[in-house]
């Protein structure tokens, strides 16, 4: 049952839970923080060096309390399917209650108005024990939320959270993504066993390549990809253009603009990248101009699906794939079989031979190395969108800390990833079984039961939502979903992971309230300017020669001031390492 001893102390994934008990009598501040900024000089970031050997803390005596104790947990629930309408239906949290005698009362704000519900809750000063998403919802960030009296940092409670502490202090990168600029351990985080790899990126119609006798390695360069797109023109439905551009000219996965080491201003942190320790706004980079020029050339040659301009999408829409309306675009690596099944039934262009393959972000020049590309889709070890805090009105802080610490024990980790029940393969009553051969090669012997997968329509996300700590704090084996896949699907991730991630803006960098106010209006204006310029050049409305004039417009709109705010925040982020030995 205890299979995770070898996984001791991995890495953080999304930022988590703030702690506190006691009175929160202060009313929320509506004024921006007067907190200043620090140096804007480039600062070297700590690098991940892998798990550190350590000794597992002593086992916890269960149950934690003799009688059932209630905590209220405020969290959005975006999922509803068979046997799941509330997090109370989640098997992991049911198991946690059986083990600890701690019962969670779930409070789900209405989807679509979560920010408003959070503000109303803060203004009422009537807080639940646990609050999801505090980092993203509270104006001014977690340090201000602490100073305003709504959240208490966990620094003084690490001694009663030894299992969580072990994960928190495993390596420098993990630590700085879990603490605030002021050194507050401001929550319980979702910690990953290693930095998560790319889970979506560029794909190509493999069946079309086969029909045309083109080797997939041709797509490794920009010129090679252009030759494929040219050959695909006649394959697309009504010759509509074989390349689909997601995200409004720039892919969120950086699948093509990453070739030029620039990011989308819509999807990737406002287009700001971490270039050698310096915050840089992508539209000011010559790579931005070069990328737009290339796409404009392809658009003029009929190689780009023209409808992308009016269709906002973070990945290529399913219908474009299954109806034969594109031959190259973004896709999520777990979706290829679903797309193939839908393509066989397409009303526009049915194709029972539909097949996708992943392609690496192409090199601009064949002489380049994959390491010369520094951007791709990836996630950090700490995922702040899943952060969860304990409010200062928590009814029993010590018990709350012990409860979450138990989730980071060996048995807690196992249940958090695979569900609380183990059985032989084919046991319909169990959530997972153990395959000693590790047949799919994901590095773990556990795998979700086929009966469970079938019950939920072979939707691995639904299965994880039902049985695991999917969007809540805990220690996540990010490859757990691989057990449902074939080896060729897992290879998609390896293909996308060939390129570097050095310029990806790190999760956890926090602007002060003043910086946020100063930068937000500037970036809103500048992003509009950059996006409109790119779309106009690509569609032939404007000349690529106007790039310098566009850059001047950005500077006239004070883009340098916004970038300086991000640089100061990045410097503070890297400086958090000073708190590691305190």
Q: Judging by beta carbons within 10 Å of its beta carbon (0-12, 13-18, 19+), is residue 97 exposed, middle or buried?
A: middle
Rounded to the nearest angstrom, the gap between the alpha carbon of residue 456 and the centroid of all alpha carbons in its chain is 24
Q: Which of 581, 578, 569 is nearest to 506 (CA)?
A: 569
Q: Summarize the confidence of residues 125-144 as an average pLDDT.
A: 92
pLDDT at 154 over 50: yes
User: pLDDT category, 438, cuts 50, 70, 90?
Assistant: confident
Q: What confidence score (pLDDT) does residue 29 get?
A: 34
- Gap between the Cα atoms of 470 and 77, Å rounded: 11
* Two structure tokens written together for 102: 């701690």
pLDDT, residue 53, reads 47
Q: Which residues contact 581 (CB under 8 A, 6 or more apart)?
A: none
Give residue 312's pLDDT: 78
Taking the mean position of all CA atoms in its chain, how far away is CA 467?
Answer: 20
User: What is the number of helices (H) and of strands (E) in the chain?
Assistant: 19, 14
Average pLDDT over residues 108-122: 95
pLDDT at site 55: 55
Most confident of 24-28, 244-248, 409-413: 409-413
Eight-state DSSP code of residue 214: -
User: Nearest CA to 30 among 115, 120, 140?
Assistant: 140
Closest to 283 (Cα-Cα) out of 265, 256, 269: 265
CATH of domain 201-372: 3.40.190.10
pLDDT of residue 484: 82
Percent of the chain's residues with pLDDT above 90? 70
pLDDT at residue 91 in the model: 97
pLDDT at 465: 96
> How far are the Cα atoms of 13, 28, 247, 359 from residue 474, in angstroms, in the given order?
9, 29, 31, 33
- The tokens of 552 are what? 């001047």
- Whether residue 43 contacts residue 277, with contact meaning beta carbons closer than 8 Å, is answered with yes
- Predicted confidence (pLDDT) per residue in 381-414, tens digit: 888 788 899 999 999 999 999 999 999 999 999 9
pLDDT for the residue numbered 23: 30
- Mean pLDDT value across residues 360-378: 93
For the segment 184-203, the average pLDDT, to the nearest whole number, is 90
Q: Is the pLDDT of residue 377 over 90?
A: no
- pLDDT computed for residue 15 by the predictor: 29
Question: What rounded mean pLDDT belongs to the chain?
Answer: 88
pLDDT (0 to 100) of residue 178: 93
Q: Which residues of 51-76 are buried (b: 16+ CB within 10 A; e: fewer)?
A: beeeeeeeebeebbeeeebebbbbbb
Q: How far apart are CA 39 and CA 37, in angstroms?
A: 7
256 band by pLDDT with thresholds 50, 70 and 90: very high
Buried b (16+ CB within 10 A) or exposed e, 340-355: bebbeebeeeebeebb
Q: 5-22+59-196+385-476 — its CATH code? A: 3.40.190.10
- Residue 277: pLDDT over 60: yes
């Amino acid at each position: 049952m205890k299979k995770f001893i070898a996984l001791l102390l991995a890495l953080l994934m999304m930022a988590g839970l703030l702690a506190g008990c006691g009175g929160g009598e202060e009313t929320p501040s509506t004024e921006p923080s007067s907190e200043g900024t620090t140096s804007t000089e480039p600062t070297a970031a700590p690098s991940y060096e892998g798990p550190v050997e350590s000794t597992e803390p002593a086992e916890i005596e269960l149950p934690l309390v003799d009688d059932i104790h209630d905590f209220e947990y405020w969290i959005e629930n975006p999922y509803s399917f068979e046997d799941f309408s509330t997090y109370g239906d989640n098997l992991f949290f049911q198991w946690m209650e059986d083990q600890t005698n701690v019962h969670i009362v779930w409070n789900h704000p209405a989807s679509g108005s979560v920010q408003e519900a959070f503000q109303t809750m803060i203004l009422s000063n009537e807080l639940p024990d646990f609050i999801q998403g505090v980092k993203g919802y509270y104006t001014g960030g977690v340090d201000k939320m602490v100073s305003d009296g709504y959240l208490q940092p966990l620094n003084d409670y690490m001694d009663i959270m030894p299992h969580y502490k072990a994960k928190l202090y495993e390596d420098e990168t993990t630590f700085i993504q879990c603490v605030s600029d002021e050194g507050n351990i401001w929550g319980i985080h979702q910690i990953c066993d290693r930095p998560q790899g790319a889970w979506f990126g560029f794909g190509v119609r493999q069946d079309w390549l086969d029909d045309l006798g083109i080797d997939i390695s041709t797509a490794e360069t920009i010129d090679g990809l252009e030759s494929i797109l040219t050959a695909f023109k006649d394959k697309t439905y009504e010759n509509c253009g074989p390349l689909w551009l997601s995200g409004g000219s720039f892919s969120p996965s950086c699948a093509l603009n990453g070739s030029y080491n620039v990011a989308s201003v819509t999807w990737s942190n406002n287009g700001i990248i971490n270039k050698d320790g310096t915050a840089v706004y992508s539209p000011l980079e010559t790579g931005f101009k070069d990328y737009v020029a290339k796409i404009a050339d392809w658009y003029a040659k009929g190689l780009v699906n023209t409808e992308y301009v009016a269709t906002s999408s973070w990945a290529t829409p399913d219908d474009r794939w299954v109806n034969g309306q594109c031959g190259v675009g973004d896709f999520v690596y777990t979706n290829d079989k679903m797309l193939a099944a839908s393509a066989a039934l397409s009303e526009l262009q049915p194709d029972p031979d539909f097949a996708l393959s992943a392609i690496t972000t192409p090199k601009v020049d064949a002489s380049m190395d994959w390491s010369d590309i520094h951007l791709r889709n990836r996630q950090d070890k700490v995922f702040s969108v899943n952060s969860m805090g304990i409010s200062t009105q928590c009814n029993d802080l010590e018990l709350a800390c012990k409860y979450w610490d138990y989730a980071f024990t060996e048995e807690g980790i196992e249940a958090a990833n695979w569900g609380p029940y183990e059985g032989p393969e084919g046991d319909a009553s169990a959530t997972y079984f153990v395959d000693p051969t590790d047949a799919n090669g994901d590095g773990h012997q556990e795998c979700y039961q086929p009966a469970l997968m079938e019950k939920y329509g072979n939707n691995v996300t639904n299965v994880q939502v039902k049985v695991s700590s999917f969007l809540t704090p805990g220690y996540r084996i990010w490859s757990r979903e691989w057990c449902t896949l074939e080896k060729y699907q897992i290879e998609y991730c390896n293909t996308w992971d060939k390129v570097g991630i050095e310029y990806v803006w790190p999760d956890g960098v926090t602007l002060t309230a003043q910086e946020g106010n100063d930068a937000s209006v500037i970036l809103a204006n500048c992003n509009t300017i950059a996006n409109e310029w790119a779309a106009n050049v690509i569609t032939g409305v404007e000349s690529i020669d106007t790039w310098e004039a566009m850059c001047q417009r950005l500077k006239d709109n004070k883009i340098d001031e916004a970038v300086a705010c991000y640089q100061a925040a990045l410097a503070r982020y890297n400086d958090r390492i000073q708190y590691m030995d305190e």
